[in-house]
Structure formats: structure tokens, C-alpha cells
Amino acid sequence: MSTTEQGEIVESSQIAAQWARIRSRLQTEVGEVEYRTWLHQMTLGAVDGDEVTVHLPTRFLRDWVSSRYGTRMNALWHHENQSIRRVDIRVGGPVEACMPSVSADPVPLPQPDVPAPPRGLSIVTLDNAPEDRPDARSDLAAALDSRFTFDAFVVGKPNEFAYACARRVAEEPASQGFNPLFLYGGVGLGKTHLMHAIAWELAARSEAAGKRPVSVAYMSAEKFMYRFIAAIRSQSTMEFKEQLRSVDVLMVDDLQFLIGKDNTQEEFFHTFNYLVEAGKQIVISSDKSPSALDGLEDRLRTRLGCGMVADLHTTTYELRISILETKAARAGVPVPPKVLEYLAHKITSNVRELEGALNRLIAHANLFGRAITLEATHEVLHDLLKAHDRRISIEEIQKKVAEHYGIRLTDMSSARRARQVARPRQVAMYLAKQLTSRSLPEIGRKFGNRDHTTVMHAVSRVNELMERDGSFAEDVELLRRLLES
């Protein structure tokens, strides 16, 4: 090996190490979820003089990453390697794993998984006799909720990326880098809504352009499986396959249902490949990202992650407020801001529940012809809100407060009286009183067996300080919100 070669090898391994550090630094800075969504597909290109090239698989992703993280990446690179002054983010890079394998062999038909019949779902109602289902469209129309449109979707930080991706797919189906579109996130955060919205938008666009209607098959993974099984039973698997393979867009909702259903996965995998190769769009939703879906066949998992993976984060207070405002305005019912704030504060789990609470309030107001007030809200939503009062423990409070003020957890119960530990301790006692239903003596005991009068004093002291000192009050409020979220 010549010296130059060695020199180059040393250099490229150094660059690789720098790149690895930059990636992990970014990952820490932006958080795992954001990193997975936007940055994990980055690959390192050439280093040329003072410029380094980073690749992303699509233009969309490239634009997104350069506008949001470009400056930071420049800084990180320069910090790692003084000679680098510019990071060029480009479209391209390895996508090999994502190429569908072309196989000329007929696909062997897998045998169905034998499932326990699911609750409330009978195979009979999902009968897929071809004469009942002339095409995927009639199926589609029945399954789509007309309220789930892009217009009705309220966009905020937690869902803007998923929304942008969904829109993009609706505007330009099967475009490079967006196939499949994989949407994931917790329950009630808008996955199904976005999928339906894509279908509506596609339909509207083809109609406006005077083109033939787009055929979209939308179904839950569960339904996919039962269809498949029913087809095998009625020996109409060919029709089933043809039906699926004739659509322009295939949407499978709640894919996590296919976990452990190996044969259905197999069938899905072949349909998936067939459609992608034929230039058709696939949209999938799931409660987890492809990489976190344990129990999915590896090759399927790889395929699923090959297009665009976009997650719906849990809602923020701001998003909840704007969803409530939008929905109240749509219902044409005046709801005082205080009530909206109260709901957004109390119901943090998901949009479905938030919407449910608002609907209940509106229905109640209509029924009794009464205005919606904070008082009426307490009354109407009493049971619902009680369930949402998350139990916060004193230990949790102590931990968060200690972390926040940078003191040791043990100081929460120690005898030390220095101001820098005594004040945070008082704040923790105050929050324990506010956020839990514990009595003063109980709280005292958790703080190193202090007397209940000490707790009482802490509470009034913190109240006093909050009135006098705005930034202290803000601090306490922040802690409260952190604990409540």
C-alpha cells in the first residue's frame, strides 16, 4: 500500500468519524423522533477542498433539511474540521435497499394466517365476492369520511411535516422519494384523517382536470387480512389480487395489525412491490415507525422505510387551542376563550378526545339552549375530566424541580437550609400541594419528615414570591406545565 493510499484512508476514516460525531450531535440536539424523520437518511458524499457534500434522497427532504438544519450543519462541520467552510446538501445518494426486487417467477400464494375472529368483526360482512365489489372505488366511497379533508386539518408544529408530505402525495402521487408514504404516530393524532384527505384531494384533482377518476383502495390492515382470508376461502384470490393490483393508490391504515401475521404480510409485501413497480402510490399508517415495528419481516420493514417516513407528534397546547378554535368556529357555536383554554389544558391525550369533549359541550348547549360557560363545562365534562387528571406523584415533582434548579434529589429531604436548596424545596412543596391531593402532613413526611407547618409556610412563601417576582412566577408555571404534560 502506497503512502498516498494510506494517507487517504486515514483521512477518509477521520472524515467518517467526524461525520458520525456530527450525526450523533444532531440527534441529541433535535431529538430522536425528529432526527429519524428528517435526518437519518443523510449520507456523506464527497469532501472537496473546503466543501463537503451531504446527500438526501429527495428534493423535498433536501429543501427541508437545508432550510432547517443547514446553518447548524455548517457550524458543526466547521467545529469538527476547521478546513471545511461549506456544506452542500444535495439530492442523491444510495437508495439501493429501496429498489424493489424484480422477480419473473410467479409469486407462490401463501396460506392464510388462522386468526381468532376479532371482536365485533365478522368475516361475512367483509365478503369480497367480486360481484359485490365491482371496483375498488365503490369500496372506497363507503370507507372514506367526508369530514377528513385537508381543509379541515389544523396544522401546527407537531404535524406540519406529515401534513406537508400528505399534501405532496396528493398533488403528485408516486413521485420519487414519497413512495410509500409512511405516516406514524399515537392514537387520535390524525393519521386516518390525513389518509382520507389524500384520497379526497386526488379525487377532486382528477375531476377538476377532467381525467378518469383515480381509483383508491383504502382499508385497515385488519380488513386487508380478512379480505385475504375470505378470498382464499371462496377461492377468489385471483380476483382479490387483481382488484388490489388495479388501483392507482393503495392505502393501508394501522399496519401494526399485521404484526405476527406472517402470511398476510407476505401477500401484502407482494402487492406492495407490484404496485410500487407499476408506479402506483402506497400510503401506510402505523402507530410506530417502520424500524420500531417489531415482528415485521425485515424485507418488508426495509421497503416501508424507503419512501417518506413522517410522524405525527403529540399535540402541543398551541395546536390544541387552534384545533378547538377551528372546530368551534365550524360548528358556528360561540365558545368563550376561557373554555377553550381550559379544555386544551386538561385534555392533552389526543385530538379525538379533545374533539369529543368539545362536541359534547356543543350538543349540551344546543339541547338545553344554554350558553357555554366555564361552569357549564365543569358540569358537563365532569367525568371525562376526572379521568384526565393524571396522578402526579410527589417523587416526580421532587425530581423535576431538583433537575430544574440543578440540586441533588436528596436535598429535597435533607436538613440543609442554604437558600439554593431551601427555595427549590419550597417550590416542590408548593407544587405538591397544587398538583396532588396529598395533605400537608403527608407532603411534609415526603420532604424529610418535616412538619405540616413547614409545608404551609412554603406554600404561602412561594405564593408571595410569585406575586412579587415575575420571572420566579414564570419558572414555577413552567415547572407546573412540565409536570402536567
Chain residues binding Mg ion by CB under 5 A are 191-192
How many degrees, rounded to 5, is the angle at CA 378 between CA 352 and CA 391? 70
Task: For the segment 388-427, give every residue that binds ligand ADP (CB under 6 A).
Answer: none
Name the phi and psi angles at 340, rounded to 5. Answer: -60, -45
Task: For the segment 205-244, give every residue that binds ligand ADP (CB under 6 A).
Answer: none
| C-alpha dihedral (289, 292, 295, 296), degrees to nearest 10 | 40
Residue at shortest CB range from ligand ADP: 190
Which C-beta is closer to Mg ion: that of 32 or that of 145?
145
Residue 230's CB: how many other CB atoms inside 10 A? Answer: 19
Which C-beta is closer to ligand ADP: that of 26 or that of 162?
162
Name 446's Cβ contacts closer than 8 Å, sequence gap at least 6: 394, 395, 398, 413, 432, 438
Single out the segment in contact with ligand ADP by CB under 6 A; choices: 104-112, 118-126, 191-199, 299-307: 191-199
Contact by Cβ (8 Å): 271, 244: yes
Which C-beta is closer to ligand ADP: that of 192 or that of 289?
192
Choose, by CB under 6 A, the member of 17, 97, 187, 371 that binds ligand ADP.
187
Q: Does 343 bind ligand ADP (CB under 6 A)?
A: no
Contact by Cβ (8 Å): 179, 283: no
Residue at shortest CB range from Mg ion: 192
Rounded to a whole number, what is the distance in angstroms from the first to the last CA of the chain?
Answer: 59
Q: Does 192 bind ligand ADP (CB under 6 A)?
A: yes
| C-alpha dihedral (163, 164, 169, 174), degrees to nearest 10 | -130
Q: Does 290 bind ligand ADP (CB under 6 A)?
A: no
Which C-beta is closer to Mg ion: that of 214 or that of 219?
219
Least distance in Å: CB of 439 to ligand ADP?
39
Determine the distance from the C-alpha atom of residue 132 to the mean position of all C-alpha atoms in its chain, rounded to a whole number. Answer: 36
Which C-beta is closer to Mg ion: that of 80 or that of 201?
201
| d(C-alpha 217, C-alpha 485), whole Å | 38
Q: Does 153 bind ligand ADP (CB under 6 A)?
A: yes
Least distance in Å: CB of 287 to ligand ADP?
8
Least distance in Å: CB of 184 to ligand ADP?
9
Q: Does 170 bind ligand ADP (CB under 6 A)?
A: no
Name the phi and psi angles at 69, rounded to 5. Answer: -120, 0
Which C-beta is closer to ligand ADP: that of 191 or that of 270?
191
Instruction: Scan for cell 407490484, then name that residue.
Output: 274
Least distance in Å: CB of 257 to ligand ADP?
13
Task: For the segment 297-326, give every residue that binds ligand ADP (CB under 6 A).
Answer: 323
Q: Which does 180 bind (CB under 5 to 8 A by kind): ligand ADP, Mg ion, none?
A: none
Choose, by CB under 6 A, the member of 57, 112, 173, 190 that binds ligand ADP.
190
Contact by Cβ (8 Å): 129, 236: yes
Closest to 237 measured CA to CA, from 217, 273, 267, 199: 267
Strands 281-286 and 181-185 turn out to be parallel
Binding-site ranges for ligand ADP (CB under 6 A)? 148, 152-154, 159, 185, 187-193, 323, 351-352, 355
